[in-house]
Amino acid sequence: MDLGENELDAARLGAAFDRVVRLLRRSDLPGDLSQVAASTLYTLVHHGPSRLTALATAEHVTQPAMTQMIGRLEAAGLVSRGADPDDGRAVVVEVTDAGRELSARRRAARAVVLAELAERLPAPDLEALQNAVAALEHLAALGDQPPAP
């Protein structure tokens, strides 16, 4: 592999991500949100009301897929759809209180699974993870394409 001093072993990191994510799926209860639905809800909670096309772009799914997913989320009472007063074509999607609660509950459930696993890690590993939390957030933010409102 021949990694330099400050070079990241992306292959190992990527594989580790895959495996951790597989673990986190354990926290997914029956009737829970799909990955993309959860991610969309998270986006709406943190970026506020957004256009349907902007959401589709941000989540990397097609416009028809987003139309249908928003339809399901709306039927479940997790989001609401409104018109854009400035553009008659546009649909503005907003998270409801129920959507906000579900999103928070999902996040908490994943945290519990993660915390249980982390308890069994040796102290140096725990410390390394703790020190990497901010870096991971920065990494995630690098790829963020916030849904332009």
Partner DNA sequence: TATTGTTATACTCTATAACTATA
Partner DNA sequence: TATAGTTATAGAGTATAACAATA
User: Among residues 80, 74, 32, 39, which one has the least CA distance to residue 56?
Assistant: 39
Q: Is 33 in the site for DNA (CB under 7 A)?
A: yes
Q: Is 65 in the site for a copy of itself (CB under 8 A)?
A: no
Nearest distance in Å: CB 47, a copy of itself: 12
Contact 73, 81 (CB under 8 A): no
* DSSP designation for 89: E
- DSSP percent split of the chain into helix, strand, coil, nearest 5: 65, 10, 25
Q: Would you give the binding string for DNA spanning residues 105-134, x where CB under 7 A is met?
A: ------------------------------
Residues that bind DNA (CB under 7 A): 30, 33-37, 51-54, 60-65, 67-72, 81, 84, 87-92
